[in-house]
Amino acid sequence: MTKRSTAFLDVPRLASPKRPVGERILDWFEVEGDLSKRSLGVQAERCMDCGIAFCHKGCPLGNHIPDWNDLVYRGDFQNASARLHATNNFPEFTGRVCPAPCEEACVLNINGEPVAIRQIEKQVADSAWQNGWLKPQPAHYSTGRSIAVVGSGPAGLAGAQQLARAGHTVTVFEREDRLGGLLRYGIPDFKLEKEIVDRRIEQLRLEGVQFETGRALGGDFTLQDLTARFDASLLCIGAQRPRTMDIPGSDLLGVHFAMDYLTQQNRRVAGDPIGQSIDAKDKRVLVLGGGDTGSDCVGTAHRQDALEVHNFHYKPAPPSVRTAQMPWPWWPMVLRESISHEEGGFRQWSVVAKRFSGDQLGRVTHLHCMQVQWSPGDDGRLQMGEIADTEIKLEVDLVLIAVGFNGPEVGEQFGLELETGDNKNLRADQQYRTPVPGVFACGDATRGPSLVVWAIWEGREAARQIDIQLQGKSSLPSIPNRHPI
C-alpha cells in the first residue's frame, strides 16, 4: 500500500472526539474518545515523513513519530507500539495529558494544521494494552546493586522501570497511600482515569520494582537512611510547594490551594476518605491562575455542580495565533481553550486580586480586585500597572488558588542545595547528581513545574546516569541535550 503524496493537502485534520458537554459534566470519566481505526490510519497518512522531522525535536522524548505514523497508516499497530515504546515508557499518559509540543513543531503547522500526533499516540498505546502486547520485561540478570526512588510520579516511575530493566533492585517510596504521584492526585479522572495508571504500575511490579507507600522523606526516613541502605537514590519528589498569595483575607474559610482541592476530589472518586470536604456544589467559585492546574479546577467545579465558575488571570490574554516573536517551530504562547473552559464559566484576563473579605463567621464572601494594563518598560519587558477606578467586587463562596508552585517541599534540611530565584528547585548537575554523594534528583524537583513528558524524559536520563555510576557504562538508551523549542 502506497501513501498518497498529497494526503496532507487532501485530508483535513480531525480533532480528538469529545463527549458532549451536557453529558460529560455529570460524571468523572474521560472526555476525549477515539477515532475509528480507519480514520486514524487516514490521519496518520497526513504525515509527510519529512526529511528533517522537526516533531522529533519538538518532543522532549525524541519520539520516532514519522515511523509509527507510517506503521499506523499501514495498519501495523503492534510494530507502531514497539516503535513508540522505544522512547516513551508511558505513551498512554502523554497521549492523554501532553499539550503536544510535537504538533506545534510539525512541518504542516507552518501554514496549515499539524498531524494529529497525540491522538495517534494515545490509540496506539491503548491498542497495545488491549491486545496484550505489553508484556513485563524483567531483567535476565541482577547487578547486585540496589536503588531507592523517592516519589512515584511520572519521573519516578520512568526512572524505576529503566533501572529495573538494567538489572538493579529498585524500591520506590511514596508518601501517599496510593501510587502515581501527580498522575494520581494532580490530574482529574476526566483527563486520565486512574485504571490507566494502575495497569502500568502493575507492569512495574511484575518487572521486579518494589513499592512502599505511606513512606515520606523527612518523616519516615532520611537521606542518611537511604544512603546506608541503598547504593544510590533518585529523588523524584516533585515541586508541590504552592505559591502563596500574601493579600489580606487569604486565611478566610473557603480559600484553598488548588492542589488540595484536586487531590481531595481524586480521592473521592477513588472512594477514599477525604476529611473535611472542599465542595463547589451550589457555590460561586473563583479560580485564580491561568495554567493547567487552574483549568482542572474549573472542570472539577463544573462536575461538582457549582452555581457559577470564574477564572481570573493577572496576565493579558495571549494572541490567538503565532506572532513574529514566536515563529514556527518554537512553542507558541497562544490562547488555548481547555476541555474545562469549553464547559462554561467566565474567563477574565488582566485582573489582579487585592484582598478578600468575609462574613462574621470568617467565611470568604468577596474578592476585591483591579483591572491592570501591561506596557513595555525601559528594558522592553512588559510591566503591569493598575488602572485607576476599575475595582471589581465579586461575590464568592469558594476560592481556589492556582498561581504556581515554588519548588519541592523538602530540601536544605538534608544537605541538598536549592536554586536561587523564585523557584526553589533542588540543584543537580548535568548528570542529575546532587551535592549529597550517591543521591540524584530529576523531574519537577529540579526543573520546576513542567510537563509529564519532560518528567518521563528526565526519569529515563537520570536512570542512565545512575547506571553509569554504578556499572561504569550503560546499555540504557539516551536522548541527550534536549532543549524545548
Tell me if 440 sits within 8 A of 232, measured CB to CB.
yes
Q: What are the grid coordinates assigned to 372, written together?
A: 491592570
What is the helix (H) or strand (E) element at residue 209, kind and residue range? none
Among 2-11, 236-245, 275-284, whose mean pLDDT is lowest? 2-11
Q: pLDDT of 307-360, one tens digit each?
A: 999 999 999 999 999 999 899 999 999 999 999 999 999 999 999 999 999 999
- The average pLDDT across 463-478 equals 96
Torsion sign, CA atoms 68, 71, 76, 82: negative
Cis peptide before 408 (omega within 30 of 0): no
User: In this prediction, what percent of the chain has a pLDDT beyond 90?
Assistant: 86
Residue 406 predicted with pLDDT over 90? no
Residue 51: band (very low, low, confident or very high) from pLDDT cuts 50, 70, 90: confident
Residue 377: band (very low, low, confident or very high) from pLDDT cuts 50, 70, 90: confident
Residue 401 predicted with pLDDT over 90? yes
Pairing of strands 382-386, 364-376: antiparallel
Name the 3-class secondary structure at 398: strand
Name the 3-class secondary structure at 375: strand
Model pLDDT, residue 420? 66
Among 68-77, 254-263, 370-379, whose mean pLDDT is lowest? 370-379
Residue 108: band (very low, low, confident or very high) from pLDDT cuts 50, 70, 90: very high
Model pLDDT, residue 439? 95
Mean pLDDT for the chain?
94
Residue 421: band (very low, low, confident or very high) from pLDDT cuts 50, 70, 90: low
- The average pLDDT across 216-221 equals 90
Question: Which range among 328-337, 419-428, 474-483 has the greatest average pLDDT?
Answer: 328-337
- The average pLDDT across 138-165 equals 97
Q: What are the grid coordinates assigned to 457, written together?
A: 524524559
What is the helix (H) or strand (E) element at residue 382, kind and residue range? strand 382-386
Residue 376: band (very low, low, confident or very high) from pLDDT cuts 50, 70, 90: confident
User: In this prediction, what percent of the chain has a pLDDT beyond 70?
Assistant: 97
Pairing of strands 439-441, 146-150: unpaired
Return the higher-pLDDT residue of 416 and 142. 142
Pairing of strands 382-386, 398-401: unpaired
Residue 182 predicted with pLDDT over 80? yes
Residue showing cell 462574621: 360
Q: How far apart are CA 455 and CA 452, in angstroms?
A: 5
Q: How far apart are CA 238 and CA 255, in angstroms?
A: 23
Please state the φ and ψ torsions of residue 466, each to the nearest 5 degrees. Answer: -65, -45
Q: Which domains does the chain have, with CATH numbers?
A: 7-130 (1.10.1060.10), 146-240+406-471 (3.50.50.60), 255-401 (3.50.50.60)
Model pLDDT, residue 8? 82
Residue 2: band (very low, low, confident or very high) from pLDDT cuts 50, 70, 90: low
Model pLDDT, residue 297? 98
Residue 416: band (very low, low, confident or very high) from pLDDT cuts 50, 70, 90: confident
Q: How far is CA 395 from the centre of its chain?
A: 32
Residue 381: band (very low, low, confident or very high) from pLDDT cuts 50, 70, 90: confident
- The average pLDDT across 419-438 equals 87
In sequence order, the β-bridge partners of residue 146 are 169
Residue 294 predicted with pLDDT over 90? yes
Work out the angle at residue 168's Cα, subtended by the Cα atoms of residues 466 and 61, and round it to the nearest 5 degrees. 55
- The average pLDDT across 231-237 equals 97
Q: What is the DSSP letter of 244?
A: P
Model pLDDT, residue 482? 59
Return the higher-pLDDT residue of 15 and 33. 33
- The average pLDDT across 204-227 equals 94
Model pLDDT, residue 371? 96
Model pLDDT, residue 106? 96
Model pLDDT, residue 351? 96
Residue 7 predicted with pLDDT over 90? no
> Residue 474 CB: number of other CB atoms within 10 A?
17
Model pLDDT, residue 154? 98
In sequence order, the β-bridge partners of residue 372 are 386
Q: How far apart are CA 452 and CA 469, in angstroms?
A: 26
Q: pLDDT of 78-96, one tens digit each?
A: 999 999 999 999 999 999 9
Please state the φ and ψ torsions of residue 253, each to the nearest 5 degrees. Answer: -60, 135
Residue 219 predicted with pLDDT over 80? yes
